[in-house]
Structure 1
Amino acid sequence: MTSAPPLTLTVADDVRALAPHFTHLAVEARGLSGGPSDERSSVLLDDAVRRLSARLGGRPPHEHPHIAAWRAAYSAFGAKPSRTRNSAEALARRALADGALPRINLLVDVYNAVSVAHLVPVGGEDADRIQGGMRLVRAVGDEPFETAAGGEPAVEHPEPGEVVWLDDAGVTCRRWNWRQGVRTRLTKESTRALFLLERLDPMPLDDLRAAGAELAEQLSRLSPGAEIVVRDPA
């Protein structure tokens, strides 16, 4: 299998100024065996819910120090964290309320399980659909974000100053890690992926590395022979 060059990932200075201790870890994978949710991914999701409950010890997710840090970061760029929750908090709340996590597809299930088990935001992008490099910036406000409204394709724009991930074609994820766009999301047919795990203080870097290692291990188990590279926190 010929290795593709790694995707470039950059964080703008004004985002660094907003959250000086922000760190992301990337996992790149090629030759994945995607597909619909199955018993293997269901086991991972159910185990993640159990691990989440043990980690929280009866506390609501927003009282966990890492989630509290994300709420503060959201407030710093003008988002209301009680309305637009970071992805880890949103998944954790759903898991506790429903007693289970949704089944989406094999690849999404795997990274959702890691996100909930470690209480860390994790996103997955179809690397074949990414155009150019990925950048974390504060939006101007005219960048296109492809989404769906009422089941129909739609284009939105972020608020000026909103923290977003984007590539050369537009926004891939709004409000840092709140909502992913449809253009680059992972599907049952995806075979090449970029996963981003994001942390703020006080989450230790070694905990972020552990989450990335677990994601890489689970991807290897589900896709024997896949080429998986874990890039150290940046």
Structure 2
Amino acid sequence: MQFEHSAQLRAAYPDLVAGVVQASGITATADVAKRTAEHLAVARERLAGGAESGFPEIQAWRRAYAAMGLRPTRYRCAAEALLRRLRLDGDLPRLHPLVDLCNAVSAAYAIPVAVLDLDRVDGDLVVRPAHGDEEYLSFAGDTEHPDPGEVTFVDAAGRAHARRWTNRQSGWSAVRAGTSSVLIVAEALHPGAAADVTRLVAALVAELADGWSAPTRAGVLTAAAPRFDVTPAGGAVTPAVAG
């Protein structure tokens, strides 16, 4: 299995940098509350200096959404939505240890982070403009179809694992109590994204090792190195960061 962004998408967004982490041995019983709180503290400190809408990481996503014909204040990237909720409510909901941790890391770096259950992804996964016939399963259990041209994560079975790129994940591949193998994807468009995504990936690898003793593979994807090879279930997963 491979993960990549399509050539069409990379041509439209040449500054795109993606961090990818594959991990196995995930459980819903890990205690990562302390580390989650530490990342949220970083996010709160940054928010104390101004609203998330002024962050360069968020502004870059707002420009991308506007370029896609989407109103940025209606369809926010996941990182902006998390930061806004943290600013208004003071905290984020608790869902699953890994999801909570990744949400906190996303808020700390102001970079969208998606976590997908690999057992629910069929074949290669490509981030590309939708054709319109892909199937997206909402968290409410409804089947939707992305609009033609809408950016989504599409697998070999034609399932859409996101809506509006980094706006909303699919309920089909969402992490659940029985999830054990995951693919974590962080995407950024702002100046300095390569350095920030590299730091974010290193932080996630360290957290996965500490919280789950999870074997991991990781990479930072750019136009020059756009693909990540995902180890098949049961295959060897060894610590590595490739750029």
The residue that corresponds to 1:41 in the other structure is 32
Q: Is the 8 A contact 1:66 1:203 kept in 2?
A: no
Is residue 228 from structure 1 mapped to residue 219 from structure 2 by the alignment? no
Instruction: Specify every segment of 5 or more residues in structure 2 that has no aligned partner in the other structure, as ranges.
Output: 223-243
Scaled by the length of structure 2, the TM-score of the pair is 0.86
Query: What is the root-mean-square deviation in Å for CA atoms of aligned residues?
Result: 1.5
The alignment's TM-score, normalised by the length of structure 1, stands at 0.89
User: After alignment, is 42-51 or 174-183 more displaced?
Assistant: 42-51
Residue 174 of structure 1: aligned partner: 163
Does residue 213 in structure 1 map to residue 202 in structure 2? yes
Q: Which moved more, 1:81-90 or 1:162-171?
A: 162-171
The alpha-carbon deviation at position 57 of structure 1 amounts to: 4.2
- The whole-number CA distance in structure 2 between the counterparts of 1:157 and 1:69 is 26
For 1:176-191, list aligned pairs within 5 A: 176-191=165-180
Hey, what's the Cα distance between the residues in 2 that align with 1:23 and 1:207?
9
The Cα shift of 1:223 comes to 0.9
Shift of 1:100: 0.9
Structure 2 partner of 1:73? 64
CA contact (8 A) 1:18 1:73 kept: no
Q: How much has 1:53 moved relative to structure 2?
A: 2.6
- The answer to whether the aligner puts 1:26 opposite 2:12 as a matched pair is no
The 8 Å contact of residues 17 and 193 in structure 2, kept in 1 or not, is answered as no
Which of 1, 5, 8 is the aligned partner of 1:14?
8
Across the two proteins, how many residue pairs are aligned to each other? 221
Q: Shift of the alpha carbon at 1:45?
A: 3.1
Which position in structure 2 is the counterpart of 1:193? 182
Regions of 4+ moved over 6 Å: none
Distance 1:9 1:187 in 2: 21
| % identical equivalent positions | 33
Equivalent residue for 2:146, pick from 126, 149, 158: 158
Give me the whole-angstrom Cα distance separating, in 1, the residues matched to 2:47 and 2:149.
Answer: 32
Partner of 1:3: none
Q: Kindly report which structure 2 residues correspond to 1:46-61, keeping only aligned pairs within 5 A, or say none.
A: 46-61=37-52
| Whole-angstrom CA distance in 2 between matches of 1:61 and 1:46 | 19
Return the letter of the residue paired with 1:191.
S
Task: Look up the match of 2:132.
Answer: 141
Deviation track 1:69-115 (CA, whole Å, cap 9, x = no partner) reads 00010111122110110000000111111111110101111211111
Inter-partner Cα distance in structure 1 for 2:174 and 2:120: 8
> 1:4 aligns to what?
none
Residue 76 of structure 2: SS of its match in structure 1? coil
Look up the equivalent residue of 1:231 and give its one-letter code: G
Among 76, 90, 97, the alignment partner of 2:88 is: 97
- Alignment partners' CA distance in 1, 2:4 and 2:179: 24
Shift of residue 42, structure 1, vs aligned partner: 2.9
Q: Distance in 2 between matches of 1:193 and 1:148?
A: 18
